[in-house]
Structure 1
């Protein structure tokens, strides 16, 4: 990995230190160029015309996403964000009264809201699997929760509020063993580690472009295992996802794009394609090793600060750190560091409420280095925090 080249290709680094890849990462110049060039083309010749001229490149996005996660292109739908992607799969599932969903303690709040909505509307039930002694999903306990009424396993792979990496592949093995649909929220995972849907054994996987993948905001995608293309119909259709056959019938598309609609931001799609290719060219395993290594180093540096407590769970920890420092207000700390050109973030209890209530978590600070960062970035952040103590 040519770090200096990567840093030169990250223009945001000229304006400060960015340690928030888990929020919205800095895009590399090729991604920025792809978006801007497409917008400029639309400005010159018109949106429809630009789409027609760049149709082959835009169509290649499906190949790029498929290559990124080990899928087939017909299993990929491009959406505007991770929540839209996740929701398209979840709300299409024909869950009925008495059906049970198994989820995890670290489930993202947006997903849990959707569970509660269908509990209220459809009469489903929610089972929350306990954690093991490390704080990750207890896989044996999950298997013990399975019954004839279990209709879905839906978990978050990497929670928004810390460095935990849940055993997603082990969960997938259980889902396959009992032939239960498996919906995996990979929003914080894609782009910081290798992802292979075959190894994960998931039926559905959702993610965003803006985080560790370093793509534009307003992008995301959904993976649907091919077998679902014969049976799963979106909750809402339009004439792209299901063209009219005649005035009395429509025909749902035979690929995952049945979960898309006709209108999209093609400039952002151009950027997303470049982001996928950029990550693959560097190599996801190389990215994981560098990003996780920097984060482990940052945990060591933070642990030496007076009154600092690292709040991350799990045996395996990724490129997200959650922590609190006694005497420092998290919101003011983020603002003061921002004024010094250092971007870190917050993790509020409401974002992962089940976990926050169980552990009685306060508002925490969150740092997520990525592979374009270096040790000097970490040291500058530590120095700034020391000055606030």
Structure 2
């Protein structure tokens, strides 16, 4: 299976400048390709009898070489893989849009989600050095896995740069403590297990929401583009990065524990997109990271030799009594305890749902 690795880079000013230029090339290729493909779609919509074939990645790359590079000779100063991979990502984004998995691709702006991908001669030299095309040898703060990746992605979060790549690993099955377990996700507690264990989410956004709001409010009158504006935006970006890192760290610890110690894991197929449409709960749901929880649990179960069973989203895990199986007609969200009128049992709502999920997979 493929495993991802991401770590921070230790850079000098020359390398930072090279990164920014490569990001610019990748962004230019993306925006050019997006504008061209949108023109083709508009033409096909206006002229249904004279449709133009939607270009593939190879078509976009050939047109880039023939039309753009002669007018923009600075393309040749950087690695050719940066614009190539950008066009490949654009074509993948359109495929996801056509399949209605994601929305329409958007134009990229300078300084927002800067990243680029390099492929070719990528070598890991020693414990904390990696050689990439065109830029040269880069240092990391962390020990690198001794593998030979085919490509690397370099991205920026606030004022820090990170390098990431994927490599092949063998799954490492471990002996399990519990055979079957149900996991119920919630807002008050991120994960409630059928064994009675409860894991709280980081709730990092809620923790720093007031500080973030204050910083953004103080920046409201700064002139866009000025030095003070850039400094203030950097502080906001750093705080956003901290919030995301706290959430991700918490999710990694919880999902690792669950996948390591449980053989068969039952989890509900939540409609996260639909849940986020609830304006009263959207902020709390996004702060928990339900989608990321399931994504991490999926690949970690494969890595540690566990089995993840996704229960149908219409399965009434919360409305069904875990003791006698009686199903309630309605259950308000404000009812945090499940009381069965048939057998008289009273149990925590989330624990009751987790036990029902365990029964569904056992």
TM-score if structure 1 supplies the norm length?
Answer: 0.22
Where relative contact order (Cα < 8 A, 6+ residues apart) is larger, the structure is 1
TM-score if structure 2 supplies the norm length?
Answer: 0.23
Where is the strand percentage greater, Structure 1 or Structure 2? Answer: 2
